[in-house]
Amino acid sequence: MTNAAASPMVHARAPGKINVFLKVGAVLEDGYHEVATAYQAVSLYEDVRAYPADDFSVEFSGSIDTSGLAVDGSNLAIKAARALARKAGFRGGVRLDIEKNVPIAGGMGGGSADAAATLLACDALWGTEATREDLLGIAATLGADVPFSYTGGTAIGTGRGDRLSPALAKGQFHWVLALAEFGMSTPAVYSELDRHRERHAQDIFPAQLQPTVDANVLQALRAGDPAMLAESLHNDLQAPALHLAPGLARVLELGEANGALAGILSGSGPTVAFLVQDADNALELQVALSASRLHVVRATGPVHGARIIHD
C-alpha cells in the first residue's frame, strides 16, 4: 500500500482541444459512437493544484463562470483521483484546486483536461510512481477525450476517440475561439445526430462503420498549411448542434465574413473555432468579433499535453 507522500502541493496543467476533423459512425455496444477524429491540443489550459488531504474534494476558480460545476463525487477530476488511488492502493485523499480557462460544456474537453492533469498531479503528490501506460489506462476509463488531454500535441483518435496514434504536425496553427454563454450536452448532440440520420434515412453503410480521417487533413497538418487544413475541416456533429442551437450559424457566418479561413464547431459545440492564416489575422478577427459582442479568445496549437508545472 502507498502511504501519504511529503509533497506539500503539486501543480499540473493540461490543454483544451479542437477536433479539426470528426466523423461519426455507428453506435457501439457500450452506447458510444464509433468515431474517427483528428485532435489538436491548443493553448487554453486547465491548472490543477493538488494538496494532501484525508478525503477527496475539489474547488474551482478561473476566467469563466464555474458556479454550475459539480464538486461531489460525480466530478470527473474526483473520479480520476479516486481511480488512481484504487489502482495504487493509496489510502489518503486529495484537495484539488482547479483554475479553469477552457469553456465548460463547450466541446473543447475542459473536464477531460481536469481529469488528465489530476492523474498526473496525484501520481506526483502521492508518489504512486504510475507508468505512462498506467495513467493512460485509467484515463481511457474516465472518458473518450481524457487520453488525448494527457498526451496532447496532434493525434488521430479512433474507437470512442480514445485509441490514439500520433499525427505529424509542422509549425503552429492560429485559432480564434468564439465562446458561447451556454453549454451543450455531448450526449444530446449525438442523440440529435441519430435522429437527424433517421429523419433523412441516412443508413450507416458498412464503409462507415469504422470511419476514417480524411487523408487531406493529415497532409495539411504535416505541411503546416492552414489554408489547406481550412479546406478539410469537418465535423459530423456540427449540423445537429446547429439544429439545437441555430444562433451558432450566425457566429460561423460572422467569422468567415471577417477574414477566417474557415470555421468549425469544436466537438459537440457550442464553441466555434476559426482557423486563420497567422497571428496578425487572429488579432484582427478577435477585434472584429469582439465588436459584435462575442466573447472571443485566441489560441495556438499544437501544444504539449498534461505536465507538471514547477511554480
The cell numbers describing 188, all together, are: 444530446
The predicted pLDDT at position 189 comes to 93
167, 201, 220: which is the final residue of a domain? 167
* Residue 114 within a domain: yes
Ligand-binding site membership of 103 (annotated): yes
Rounded CA separation 124/129 (Å):
7
Ligand-binding site membership of 107 (annotated): yes
Of 187 and 7, the one with more pLDDT: 187
118, 141, 167: which is the final residue of a domain? 167
Ligand-binding site membership of 43 (annotated): no
167, 195, 223: which is the final residue of a domain? 167
The predicted pLDDT at position 4 comes to 45
Q: What's the pLDDT tens digit per position in 164-180?
A: 999 989 999 999 999 99
The cell numbers describing 134, all together, are: 498506467
The predicted pLDDT at position 26 comes to 81
Residues catalogued as catalytic: 17, 145
The predicted pLDDT at position 7 comes to 63
Q: Please indicate, yes or no, whether residues 163 and 16 belong to a single structural domain of this protein.
A: yes
Q: What is the mean pLDDT of residues 278-304?
A: 96
CATH at residue 269:
3.30.70.890
For all residues of the chain together, what is the average pLDDT?
A: 92
How confident is residue 205, by pLDDT bands cut at 50, 70 and 90?
A: very low
Q: Please indicate, yes or no, whether residues 93 and 148 belong to a single structural domain of this protein.
A: yes
* Residue 119 within a domain: yes
The predicted pLDDT at position 6 comes to 46
Q: Please indicate, yes or no, whether residues 188 and 293 belong to a single structural domain of this protein.
A: yes
The predicted pLDDT at position 207 comes to 43
Rounded CA separation 15/32 (Å):
24
The predicted pLDDT at position 30 comes to 77
Q: Please indicate, yes or no, whether residues 125 and 188 belong to a single structural domain of this protein.
A: no
How confident is residue 230, by pLDDT bands cut at 50, 70 and 90?
A: very high
Ligand-binding site membership of 110 (annotated): yes
251-286 residues labelled b (16+ CB within 10 A) or e (exposed):
bbebbeebebbbbbbbbbbbbbbbbbeeeebbeebb
Q: Please indicate, yes or no, whether residues 146 and 186 belong to a single structural domain of this protein.
A: no
* Residue 185 within a domain: yes
Residue 162's CB is within 10 A of a number of other CB atoms, namely: 20
The predicted pLDDT at position 21 comes to 97
Ligand-binding site membership of 111 (annotated): yes
In the predicted model, is pLDDT for residue 15 greater than 90? yes
Q: Please indicate, yes or no, whether residues 160 and 14 belong to a single structural domain of this protein.
A: yes
Ligand-binding site membership of 106 (annotated): yes
CATH at residue 151:
3.30.230.10
In the predicted model, is pLDDT for residue 201 greater than 70? no
* Residue 126 within a domain: yes
* Residue 4 within a domain: no
The number of domains in the chain is 2
Terminal C-alpha separation, the chain: 29
* Residue 309 within a domain: no
* pTM to 2 decimal places: 0.91
Q: What is the mean pLDDT of residues 171-195?
A: 92
The predicted pLDDT at position 1 comes to 44
Ligand-binding site membership of 113 (annotated): yes
The predicted pLDDT at position 47 comes to 98
- According to DSSP, residue 69 is labeled S
In the predicted model, is pLDDT for residue 248 greater than 80? yes
* Residue 307 within a domain: no
The predicted pLDDT at position 66 comes to 84
Q: Please indicate, yes or no, whether residues 191 and 122 belong to a single structural domain of this protein.
A: no
Domain that holds residue 73: 10-167
The predicted pLDDT at position 309 comes to 96
Q: Please indicate, yes or no, whether residues 282 and 205 belong to a single structural domain of this protein.
A: yes
Ligand-binding site membership of 273 (annotated): no
The predicted pLDDT at position 5 comes to 45
* Residue 188 within a domain: yes
Q: What's the pLDDT tens digit per position in 54-96?
A: 999 999 998 888 888 889 999 999 999 999 999 999 999 999 9
Rounded CA separation 49/30 (Å):
33
Q: Please indicate, yes or no, whether residues 69 and 27 belong to a single structural domain of this protein.
A: yes
Q: What's the pLDDT tens digit per position in 93-125?
A: 999 999 999 988 888 999 999 999 999 999 999
Q: What is the mean pLDDT of residues 130-154?
A: 95
Q: Please indicate, yes or no, whether residues 208 and 158 belong to a single structural domain of this protein.
A: no
Strands (E), the chain: 10-27, 33-53, 56-62, 93-100, 154-158, 163-166, 173-179, 234-235, 262-265, 272-276, 295-301, 307-309
Q: Which region among 178-187, 202-211, 244-253, 281-290 has the lowest average model confidence (pLDDT)?
A: 202-211
In the predicted model, is pLDDT for residue 200 greater than 50? yes
The predicted pLDDT at position 202 comes to 57
Q: Please indicate, yes or no, whether residues 161 and 193 belong to a single structural domain of this protein.
A: no
Ligand-binding site membership of 108 (annotated): yes
Q: What's the pLDDT tens digit per position in 23-52?
A: 998 877 777 788 999 999 999 999 999 999
Q: Please indicate, yes or no, whether residues 94 and 137 belong to a single structural domain of this protein.
A: yes
